[in-house]
Amino acid sequence: MKALNRFVLPLGGFALLVLLLAVGLRQAPDKGIIVSPLIGKPAPALRLPLLNEPAVLLDAAETFKGRWYLLNVWGTWCPECRYEHKALLDISARYQVPVLGMDWKDDDAAAREWLQQLGNPYEQVVTDHEGRTAIAWGVYGAPETYLVNPAGVIVYKKVGGLTMDIWQREFLPLMTRSGS
Amino acid sequence: MIPEIGHYALILALLLAIAQSAFGLLGPLSQRSRYLDAVPFAVAGQFVFTALAMGCLVTSFVQFDFSVRYVAENANSALPIFYRVAALWGAHEGSLLLWIFVLSLWTVAVTLRSRSLPPQFVARVLGVLGLLSVGFLLFTLATSNPFLRLDPAPPDGRDLNPVLQDFALAIHPPMLYTGYVGLSVAFAFACAAMIEGRLDQAWARWTRPWTTLAWAFLTAGIALGSWWAYYELGWGGFWFWDPVENASFMPWLVATALIHSLAVTDKRGLFKSWTLLLAISGFSLSLLGTFLVRSGVLVSVHSFAADPARGIFILAFLVIIIGGALTLYAWRAPLLRSDAGFELTSRESFLLFNNILLVIAAAVIFGGTLAPMVSDALHLGTLSVGPQYFNPTFLLPVLPLLALVSVGMHSGWKRGNLARVRRPILGTLVLAVTLALAICAGAYDFSVMLLPVGLALGLWMALAALVDPIDRLRRGLSLPAGIVGMSLAHIGLGVLTIGITVVQSVTIERDTALAQGAQTTLGSYSFRFEGTAPAEGANFSATEGTVTVNQNGHEVAVLKPQKRNYWVQQSAMTEAAISSGWNRDLFVAMGEDLGQGKWSLRLQVRPLIQFVWFGAIIMMVGGVVSGLDRRYRLPKTAPVTADVTPAAGVQGQAA
């Protein structure tokens, strides 16, 4: 019997591991579907020129200090951004949450025209032509929307187009839970 | 239409995989050979349909079919064709499909290459592989179907992160997956042996080439990932102990141990249960890596969008596959005894030390990778485990391991008469130490103690690995591919050791301010700032600095780092310049304009960094050469059905 025990050990170790993984998995949903390693971490530096005044650099941490804000990554080349635009207009109008638009690898003139035509849901729009800041934020494709809390910590990230429904279901509770 | 064909092909592949595992695992229980004959057909059919599914997804990418959600999310119309094909494995769903396809390829290879093995054994191996395929196909169809449509279809897809559009990154996942999945062959061989309740030396001989080839792919995959991180991300290093890197490194270490323990089982019929356990663990660690990356339990820079529902599925799959294999192990392994002995200085004991140290190294990484999870699960707060933990604890088992390599290579089987091989061992050691000291004195210095030690160990390994082949050539003996491969792999390890040691100990970095014409010295290199000139690109204008690097009065490189101003954006970007040479990388980045022609500059000299990848390439080539050795493919003179083990009694139980 003693000889057998030795060979059962790996199975026992594995059972422990499964237990650990199961616990880890049970806790994972609390954190939401994790789409970014940056969630729960301070937002990376964002210092980019304004779309309308390229000579002026906007520092997101300074501008939105002590406020909740959304960082919305978009581009005129991005068809899904067009679908999303209406929802963004509604959200910013109804919920008064400041939205920072990051116009990603785009043509400035086209972006200005887009905002004139479709309306401007953004409090500020910055441009990231080279895409370096987007890389720092872990942007994988447009559209993507980040929720940043008043302490400057990324609370949530949505990959893909935003809708009113997604906003109310996934974003709002996060803001109200911690009392905005 | 095409995506639907792909979807349908996946369903057919699943049905065939079920047939393959059923006939393969249950067939041998019946007396009818017809059931066994069906297995290769299921394998072939499954290959055809997974290939068809791959083809359909590639076609959707190539044709810009943005109605396919996976295509719309991972490609857009500006993406060149090479990256559109590579985009297939750019995200979760497609990489699963790639995984399934690679598994199918390995299964076909095993079917074709195993015709000389006992048919019942082969059927069981294919049955186990079929079971793995069932799991992955179910997973794909249930939670991660890449063929889902979007309605309405967007006119164009999402733009991709440009960092991901890189050649090394495009071929890195297929390499890595080929390695990961290749370990499933050793796993299946182990399971089949345990089901049959016998494991003889022939078994080890059959398993060896598969393990070695899988290991070679794993080596290449890991090296490519590291190379990409260094050159493209500019992270300033080649290894970061990131959970995903660790997830690929643990199976590599265990596979390395397995290769060596298989050699003992093959030559001497020893370490049987240990070899089985390694074969199970190697593949289990690849599966576990997949779980950790995909489930969102661990987060890392590499993470795909993680989904807990997928995590539950993978966890269940892990329990069935690994739990099943380990249960089989607990039941069968006690029956596999070997009573041959060996002496302390024999090759067996060196390989035993090798195995123990490699497993300790893997365990150290395992612990470090899972520690944050344990701490989370027990609500002990967030824990971050970084290089401060990994570097020293990893060195602890690895340093003695590297020291033992050179001696172990020359020890004999069974009776280790080291006196007989004292000359080559001591000769190479003296030569290596002398060379290491000379290199330290000549090129570097003695300020870091690990430098001469690592250099000597690396040189010793590379030199010692040459002794046996040279000796054989001199005596006019044949030089089998297995020996050439082994020598190459050990030389590669030596080169890798030298590279890592030198980069870690001697990299010089300095931030300095230089006026035009001024110079500064880093090690033996003097960097002279020649001044700046305007430069222009497609959408930017830049200030381009020129830095000439001299060594011993000779110009060795002219580096032109840029400080770019993008016209529209009016913001500055820094573009570093790297000059790669065989023995060092020189790096210059421009900082700030300090006025009057003076600039702040960041200068780095990274010696021998190329050796890291060069060593890995040699190791990989060694693995391929050795894995293709004809000796493993020809049936041994002894009939393979002969049962060498004293565990024959178990057979009745299995039937």
Average pLDDT value for residue range B363-389: 82
Asked whether the predicted pLDDT for residue B461 surpasses 90, the reply is: yes
In this complex, the residue of A7, A28, A34 whose CB is nearest that of residue B330 is: A7
Which chain B residues touch A139 with a CB distance below 8 Å?
161
In this complex, the residue of B295, B333, B568 whose CB is nearest that of residue A7 is: B333
Q: Tokens in use for B310?
A: 């997928």
Confidence of residue B636 (pLDDT cuts 50, 70, 90): very low
Average pLDDT value for residue range A103-124: 88
Q: What is the pTM of this model?
A: 0.80
Tokens 């500006």, residue?
A: B78
Please indicate whether, in this complex, the C-beta atoms of A7 and B334 are within 8 angstroms of each other: yes
User: What ipTM is given for this predicted complex?
Assistant: 0.82
Query: What pLDDT, in 10s, does the model give residues B219-255?
Result: 999 999 888 777 765 555 688 887 778 889 999 999 9
At B458, the amino acid letter reads G
Residue in B70, B320, B300, B317 with CA at minimum distance from that of residue B191: B320
Which chain A residues touch B312 with a CB distance below 8 Å?
25
Confidence of residue B539 (pLDDT cuts 50, 70, 90): low
**In this predicted structure, what is the pLDDT of residue B584?**
87
* A37-177 placed in CATH 3.40.30.10: yes
Kindly state the percentage of chain B with pLDDT values over 70: 88
| Burial bucket for residue B374 (CB in 10 Å: 0-12, 13-18, 19+) | middle
Asked whether the predicted pLDDT for residue A35 surpasses 70, the reply is: no
Asked whether the predicted pLDDT for residue B654 surpasses 50, the reply is: no
The domains of chain B are located at 1-162, 419-506, 508-609
Please indicate whether, in this complex, the C-beta atoms of B296 and A135 are within 8 angstroms of each other: no
Q: Which residue has the higher pLDDT, B162 or B181?
A: B181
Asked whether the predicted pLDDT for residue A32 surpasses 50, the reply is: no
Asked whether the predicted pLDDT for residue B640 surpasses 60, the reply is: no
Q: How far apart are the first and last CA of chain B?
A: 47
Which chain A residues touch B323 with a CB distance below 8 Å?
11, 14-15, 18
Query: What pLDDT, in 10s, does the model give residues A68-82?
Result: 999 999 888 776 787
Region of poorest pLDDT, from B54-68, B158-172, B594-608: B158-172
**In this predicted structure, what is the pLDDT of residue B192?**
96
| Helical pair B272-295 and B243-268, crossing angle rounded to 10 deg | 160
**CB < 8 Å from B in window 12-41 of A:** 14-15, 17-18, 20-25, 27-29, 31, 33-37, 39
Kindly state the percentage of chain B with pLDDT values over 90: 47
Which chain B residues touch A6 with a CB distance below 8 Å?
334
**In this predicted structure, what is the pLDDT of residue B305?**
46
User: Exposed e or buried b for every residue in A131-162, given b needs 16+ CB within 10 A?
Assistant: bebbbebbbbbbbbbbbbbeebebbbbbbbbb
Long-range pairs of B626-630 with CB within 8 A, sequence gap ≥ 24: B626/B209, B626/B212, B626/B481, B626/B482, B626/B484, B626/B485, B626/B486, B626/B488, B626/B489, B627/B209, B627/B210, B627/B212, B627/B213, B627/B216, B627/B485, B628/B209, B628/B213, B628/B481, B629/B209, B629/B480, B629/B481, B629/B482, B629/B485, B630/B481
Please tell me which residue of chain A has the smallest CA distance to B291.
A21
Note whether A98 contacts B: Cβ–Cβ < 8 A. no
Query: What pLDDT, in 10s, does the model give residues B486-535?
Result: 999 999 999 999 999 999 888 888 888 899 889 898 888 899 999 888 88
Confidence of residue A97 (pLDDT cuts 50, 70, 90): confident
Average pLDDT value for residue range B387-404: 92
**In this predicted structure, what is the pLDDT of residue B642?**
38
Asked whether the predicted pLDDT for residue B301 surpasses 60, the reply is: no
Average pLDDT over chain B, rounded to an integer:
85
Q: Which residue has the higher pLDDT, B636 or B290?
A: B290
Asked whether the predicted pLDDT for residue B652 surpasses 60, the reply is: no
**In this predicted structure, what is the pLDDT of residue A126?**
94
CB pairs under 8 A between A and B: 143
